[in-house]
Structure 1
Amino acid sequence: MTAQPAEPSPRPAPSGELRASHDDREAVVEQLRDAAAEGRIDLDELDSRLEQALTSKTHAELAVLTADLPRPTSAEGRPPLVLKGGMSGASRGPGRWEVPGRVIAHGGVGGVKVDFTRVECRLTEVAVEAYGETSGVTVVIPDGWAADTNGLDPGVGGLTDKTSPDRLPGTPLIRLTGAGGMGGVIIRHPNRREQRKMRSNPAQG
């Protein structure tokens, strides 16, 4: 029996011809909005580019819309921040600290608090993996920042989301994933006590 010749494998498409996803389009939309907030493009041009971004089908079409804009600050090469609650707990902030593109928080026995209220973050998105475990994880973000919590499994301890969906231009989106565990995960804006402290000491570093 004569063997049939193998069909040639399809050649991969050049990267620019790959189909764009909803997330790809959304990332360009955020970059364009940030550029308008910084005065790099005017509002008429923003509207035109946003319309093109939302109807773009390939990476090449999206790339044209941001070719004359600076690249968003990249977190590549910067290791993730890992916080482990241990016996006595752990925290980062308040105060100014360098925000990587990824933060991993394990509540452990002592709990973890991640406070972004005084940071200067040029990233368009920060991935926060929160695992409540025994004592929970609390994430505090400034007013004007927004969070996407759809990727977090609430578990037994649950997810408490007290953030506002109103996001100011130029601010990062906190994309929260992980699991609530026994202790749960809380994400919120500063409470009254924290707001008073910031007003009384605005230059805290």
Structure 2
Amino acid sequence: MTTQPPEPSPRPAPSEELRASHDDREAVVEQLRDAAAEGRIDFDELDSRLEQALTAKTHAELAVLTADLPRLTSPESQSPLVLKGGMYGASRGPGRWEVPGHVIARGGLGGVKIDFTRVECRRTEVTVEAYGETSGVTIVIPDAWAADTSGMDPGVGGLTDKTTPDRLPGTPLIRLTGSGGAGGVAIRHPNRGERRKLHDNPAQG
């Protein structure tokens, strides 16, 4: 009886020939939209590339669409900004500061305030994980931005949401999660005093 040699195992497909997933296509769509917002590609080219991205079947087809664009750092690989109230409180802003994709705020005994009114943020979404603890967390966002507070546990201190849903196209959405604790969490647009400072010092860094 003749023994047949074993059939060779199928060779794995090169990475560029792997089939693209919905998440792969969505990541490229996001990169293309960011590139258009930065003026790297015009809107006619954006429409053409978006159509190709949404119908791409392999990684190679997607790679061609972003080959001439800067490589983006994955939000998952960036460390979150952590603010702890401690005894004396903590704040970030007003002023220009780099906004990461994830911010963690713990009110502690002194409270935390996060002011986004002067930042330049190209992200479409920022997650703010807020824990009111003893003295609470206050978040101030520009009028053009909007907030999603559906993932927030109000806790004993409660959640105060004084934002409007009038989000302008291309502006970030603040996705608020966490717990109000005893001090509560508040998210709002600038108050009268803050608006006066913005008006009097529009270019403050």
TM-score, structure 2 normalization: 0.72
Alignment of 1:17-166 (within 5 A): 17=18, 19-22=20-23, 24-56=24-56, 60-72=60-72, 79-161=79-161, 162-164=163-165, 166=167
Aligned to 1:51, what secondary structure does the other structure show?
helix
Deviations 1:164-197 (A, max 9, x none): 352443x444333322223332222222321111
8 A Cα contact 2:34 2:122, kept in partner: no
Q: Which amino acid aligns with 1:48?
A: S
Distance 2:13 2:127 in 1: 29
1:160–1:21 distance in 2 versus 1, CA, 3 Å: farther
User: What is residue 7 of structure 1 aligned with on the other side?
Assistant: none
Partners in 2 of 1:66 and 1:95 — Cα distance?
Answer: 33
1:97-122 Cα offsets, whole Å, 9 max, x none, are 33334321101232211111112334
User: Does the Cα contact within 8 Å between 1:81 and 1:104 map onto a contact in 2?
Assistant: yes
Aligned with 1:35: secondary structure? Answer: helix
Structure 1 residue 136: deviation in Å? 1.9
Alpha carbons 1:73, 1:123 under 8 Å: kept: no
Point out the more displaced range, 130-139 or 33-42: 33-42
Q: Could you say which residue in structure 2 is the equivalent of 1:184?
A: 184
Say what the alpha-carbon RMSD is for the aligned residues: 3.4
* Matched residue count: 194
Q: Within 2, Cα distance between the matches of 1:12 and 1:198?
A: 58
Report SS of the residue matched to 2:48. Answer: helix
Give the distance between the partners of 2:145 and 2:45, measured in 1 at CA: 25
Q: 1:111 to 1:50 in 2, by over 3 A?
A: same
> For 1:108, what is the secondary structure of its paired residue?
coil
Residue 6 of structure 1 is matched in structure 2 by: none
Distance 1:197 1:26, change over 3 A: farther
Question: Unpaired segments of 5 or more residues in structure 2?
Answer: 1-10
Question: What code does the residue aligned with 2:200 have?
Answer: S
Shift of 1:160: 3.4
Q: 1:94 to 1:69 in 2, by over 3 A?
A: same
Larger-gyration structure (1/2): 2
- Deviation of the 1:94 alpha carbon: 0.8
SS of the residue corresponding to residue 174 of structure 2 reads strand
Q: Distance in 1 between matches of 2:56 and 2:157?
A: 41
What amino acid sits opposite 1:30 in the alignment? E
Amino acid at match of 2:167: D
Shift of 1:35: 2.0
Identity of aligned residues (%): 79
Q: Distance in 2 between matches of 1:20 and 1:151?
A: 27
